[in-house]
């Protein structure tokens, strides 16, 4: 579709659907990246749509936040209309698809949802900024805090697919070929039976990005709850001449970031005492 015809069609749909002043209208009319300028193919249009959804989440008003549930936004329409401001990764991407299908005329068969397995557990690429402007990650290392590292612990994730291209409006990662292109570290839980009461602990089973992690291989990812529960197995003060995980470090670590997301520490196994590892079934 040429730009003029697309502009006429998109503006007519905005009026028909009564979307004046809504997030959807602002996404379609993003200054400098109005979606009708990217309507040469549905693939180009879908990509820019997801970019514009992310742009609105980072810059728009009202602010959006990344909550643990759908926030009453199962189809994406509520977020697109401004009837809710809280949703999850699936909801942000569903919002993009709702606009794509209902305003832009992209067939549902061309712009669809895609998901990791429910139990896929991973840390996103370092330097990621989620669509929630107030959430700068929930993973840190011994030397980099959450904002410096810019990484997120995810258990399950969803995004969009247009043809062979994957598009994630929630993290602004576009045109990736497979789910592991989103991963920095893939994780495997070690303490399933004690997760609820004692916190979670994972081994890093695969790294897809070479971003440095302090200390030698292998690496672990441990939750705030597990750190607090078993901090008595950690030293009170750091040993001379080395970076160590201490009780003081744990005491200063926030329990959550963003909209109540538990914090996680990515750490070398060598920085955990034997007693701490045994308590969480870390090898």
- Cβ contact 68:259 at 8 Å: yes
Q: Which pLDDT score, from 0 to 100, does residue 195 have? A: 57
DSSP assignment of 44-59, as one string? HHHHHHHHHHHHHHHH
Q: Which pLDDT score, from 0 to 100, does residue 193 have? A: 61
Exposure b/e, 122-153, CB count within 10 A at least 16 = b: bbbbbebbbbbeebbbbbbbbebebeebbbbb
Read off the tokens for 252.
């200063």
- Cβ contact 149:129 at 8 Å: no
Q: Which pLDDT score, from 0 to 100, does residue 68 have? A: 82
**Residue closest to 207 by CA, chosen among 183, 228, 191:** 183
Q: What is the dihedral of CA 178, 181, 185, 186, to 10 degrees?
A: 0
Whether residue 204 is predicted with pLDDT greater than 90 in this model: the reply is yes
17-26, 119-128, 185-194, 255-264: lowest mean pLDDT where?
A: 185-194
Whether residue 194 is predicted with pLDDT greater than 70 in this model: the reply is no
Average pLDDT over residues 187-195: 78
Q: How does pLDDT run across 135-145, given as a tens digit for each residue?
A: 999 999 999 99
Provide the 8-state DSSP code for 178: S
Q: Which pLDDT score, from 0 to 100, does residue 237 have? A: 84
Q: If you average pLDDT over every residue of the chain, what do you get?
A: 94
Q: How does pLDDT run across 205-252, given as a tens digit for each residue?
A: 999 999 999 999 999 999 999 999 999 999 998 776 655 799 999 999
Question: What is the rounded CA–CA span in Å between residue 170 and residue 168?
Answer: 5
**Residue closest to 172 by CA, chosen among 6, 27, 54:** 54
Q: Which pLDDT score, from 0 to 100, does residue 70 have? A: 76
Question: What is the rounded CA–CA span in Å between residue 204 and residue 189?
Answer: 9
Average pLDDT over residues 122-144: 97
- Cβ contact 250:276 at 8 Å: no
Strands 65-66, 86-87: pairing kind: parallel
Whether residue 200 is predicted with pLDDT greater than 70 in this model: the reply is yes
- Cβ contact 245:234 at 8 Å: yes
Provide the 8-state DSSP code for 111: E
Question: What is the rounded CA–CA span in Å between residue 77 and residue 91?
Answer: 9
Q: How does pLDDT run across 72-107, given as a tens digit for each residue?
A: 899 999 999 999 999 999 999 999 999 999 999 999
For residue 172, the tally of other CB atoms under 10 A from its CB is 18
Boundaries of every domain in the chain? 187-279
Name residue, tokens 């728009």.
60
């Amino acid at each position: 579709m040429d730009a003029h015809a697309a502009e006429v069609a998109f503006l007519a749909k905005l009026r028909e659907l009564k979307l004046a002043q809504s997030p959807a209208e602002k996404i379609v009319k993003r200054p400098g990246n109005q979606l009708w300028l990217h309507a040469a193919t549905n693939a180009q249009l879908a990509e820019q749509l997801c970019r514009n959804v992310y742009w609105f989440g980072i810059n728009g008003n009202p602010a959006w936040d990344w909550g643990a549930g759908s926030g009453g936004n199962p189809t994406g329409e509520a977020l697109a209309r401004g009837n809710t401001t809280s949703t999850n990764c699936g909801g942000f991407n569903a919002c993009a698809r709702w606009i794509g299908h209902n305003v832009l005329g992209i067939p549902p068969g061309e712009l669809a949802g895609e998901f990791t397995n429910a139990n896929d557990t991973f840390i996103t690429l370092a330097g990621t900024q989620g669509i929630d402007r107030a959430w700068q990650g929930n993973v840190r290392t011994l030397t980099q805090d959450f904002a410096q590292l810019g990484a997120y612990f995810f258990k399950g994730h969803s995004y969009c697919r247009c043809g062979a291209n994957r598009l994630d409006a929630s993290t602004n990662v576009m045109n990736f070929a497979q789910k592991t292109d989103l991963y920095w570290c893939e994780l495997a839980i070690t303490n399933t039976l004690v997760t609820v009461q004692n916190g979670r602990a994972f081994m890093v089973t695969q790294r897809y990005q070479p971003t440095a992690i302090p200390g030698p291989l292998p690496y672990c990812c441990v939750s705030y709850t597990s750190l607090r529960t078993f901090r008595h197995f950690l030293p009170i003060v750091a040993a001379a001449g080395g970076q160590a995980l201490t009780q003081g470090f744990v005491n200063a670590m926030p329990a959550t970031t963003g909209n109540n997301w538990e914090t996680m520490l990515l750490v070398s196994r060598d920085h955990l005492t034997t007693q701490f590892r045994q308590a969480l079934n870390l090898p």
